[in-house]
């Protein structure tokens, strides 16, 4: 017998069922803590390793002491703080932002293919950035500002076009794909009108690289992460309710459209700032959430875990792009080479399961 009724006739759970549910929650919470802790250690190790390797090799202790200002060694400090720390910090911050934003998109829209890469946000950033480089000959912080504005405008455009007494995830994704194709066509047209130097500069930005951010851009992203990641964590509960469907979420007391708008707005700002710092690095936002869910098991949907997976992926990709290939390449080349086969596998398995449309 799994349930009894009280004098008013309302069903209540039997003590054994309540205890089993409590143990299940504890196991899920314990696994989430262990996985998140392990990912934190992995990201920290990759962060230090990024600053150790290179033509001038430095020990882990020296790197940590230099970053924390625990020693005074001018040559080590110059290499670590002046040359390698900005790139490592950029990879860490961009990876955290892409991982968190990607899993929010996938959970809100309830589709593993719902990534900022494919729903027009990064395409909007790319169009405005390339237009600035080619037509207005701007560079540096102005390119990042244009990319940020383009990503936000693209997201607002898709939200307005997808609105029909609310936003459906299926409709949002279809409109996003159409907007992305339209923007990519405009990017191709702008590039066709560019001089060789401008086209090369624009293509380098479009490929994405964590080593091209200025100090101002990086500080802006780090500041945004300090504010937006806690907001995303506070929105975790309505996010889990939205995964059950709008009717179930309303039954649980969730204001569906307000919660969806807040979650999508947080994710859009995160990915827009990440693209402004490093360019449209492909596939990190797409794969971070599913990898985190595999690690979490029953405790799926953790935003911190997905953010840490994104950081680990981008730090690893930067190490491979700079140090393991015959010629150093932009980080986006490595993430694209790894992410494309994953996308094909995801498309095949999704359609086989009957969820691919």
For the segment 97-147, what is each residue's pLDDT rounded down to a tens digit?
999 999 999 988 888 888 888 888 999 999 999 999 999 888 888 998 999
**Residue from 107, 106, 36, 100 nearest 307 by CA:** 100
CA–CA separation, 182 vs 172, rounded Å?
15
Q: What is the pTM of this model?
A: 0.89
Q: Which range is least confidently modeled, 121-135, 211-225, 341-355?
A: 341-355
Structure-token pair, residue 228? 């937006």
- pLDDT for position 1: 44
- pLDDT for position 185: 94
Structure-token pair, residue 33? 């803590």
The yes-or-no verdict on residue 351 having pLDDT over 70 is no
- pLDDT for position 301: 65
CB atoms within 10 A of CB 32: 20
> For the chain, what are the domain ranges?
13-346
For the segment 56-82, what is each residue's pLDDT rounded down to a tens digit?
899 999 999 999 999 888 999 999 999
The better pLDDT of the pair 3, 99 is held by 99
For the segment 147-206, what is each residue's pLDDT rounded down to a tens digit?
999 999 999 999 888 888 777 777 888 899 899 999 999 999 999 988 888 898 899 899
- pLDDT for position 299: 64
Four-residue CA torsion sign, 252, 256, 262, 265 = positive
Per-residue pLDDT band for 350 (boundaries 50, 70, 90) equals: low
For the segment 226-280, what is each residue's pLDDT rounded down to a tens digit?
999 999 888 888 887 877 777 777 787 777 788 888 898 999 999 999 998 898 9
The CATH number, out of the four listed (3.30.43.10, 3.90.1150.10, 1.10.3470.10, 3.90.1330.10), of the domain defined by the range 13-346: 1.10.3470.10
The yes-or-no verdict on residue 300 having pLDDT over 80 is no
Q: What is the DSSP string of 113-177?
A: T--TTTTTHHHHHHHHHHHHHHTS---THHHHHHHHHHHHHHHHHHHHHHBSSSB-HHHHHHHHH
Percent of the chain predicted with pLDDT > 70: 92
The yes-or-no verdict on residue 356 having pLDDT over 70 is no
- pLDDT for position 10: 47
């Amino acid at each position: 017998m799994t349930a009894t009724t009280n004098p008013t006739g309302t069903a209540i759970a039997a003590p054994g069922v309540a205890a089993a549910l409590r143990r299940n929650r504890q196991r899920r919470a314990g696994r989430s803590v262990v996985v998140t802790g392990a990912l934190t250690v992995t990201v920290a190790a990759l962060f230090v390793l990024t600053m150790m390797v290179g033509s001038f090799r430095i020990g882990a202790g020296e790197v940590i002491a230099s970053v924390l200002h625990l020693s005074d060694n001018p040559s080590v400090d110059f290499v670590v703080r002046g040359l390698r720390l900005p790139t490592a910090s950029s990879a860490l911050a961009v990876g955290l932002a892409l991982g968190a934003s990607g899993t929010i998109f996938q959970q809100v829209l309830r589709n593993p293919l719902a990534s900022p890469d494919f729903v027009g946000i990064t395409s909007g950033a790319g169009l405005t950035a390339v237009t600035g480089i080619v037509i207005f000959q701007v560079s540096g912080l102005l390119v990042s500002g244009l990319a940020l504005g383009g990503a936000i405008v693209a997201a607002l455009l898709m939200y307005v076009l997808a609105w029909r007494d609310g936003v459906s995830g299926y409709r949002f994704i279809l409109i996003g794909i159409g907007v992305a194709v339209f923007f990519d066509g405009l990017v191709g047209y702008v590039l066709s009108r560019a001089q060789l130097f401008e086209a090369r500069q624009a293509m380098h930005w479009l490929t994405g690289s964590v080593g091209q951010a200025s100090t101002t851009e990086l500080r802006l992203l780090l500041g945004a992460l300090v504010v937006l990641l806690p907001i995303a964590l506070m929105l975790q509960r309505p996010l889990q309710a939205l995964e059950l469907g709008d009717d179930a979420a309303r039954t649980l007391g969730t204001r569906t459209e307000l919660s969806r708008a807040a979650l999508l707005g947080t994710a859009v700002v995160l990915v827009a700032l990440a693209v402004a710092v490093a360019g449209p690095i492909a596939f990190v936002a797409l794969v971070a959430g599913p990898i985190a869910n595999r690690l979490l098991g029953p405790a799926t949907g953790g935003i911190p875990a997905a953010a840490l997976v994104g950081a680990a992926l981008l730090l690893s990709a930067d190490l491979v792009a700079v140090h393991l290939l015959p010629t150093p390449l932009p980080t986006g080349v490595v993430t694209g080479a790894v992410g494309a086969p994953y996308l094909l596998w995801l498309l095949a398995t999704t359609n086989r399961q009957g969820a691919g449309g």
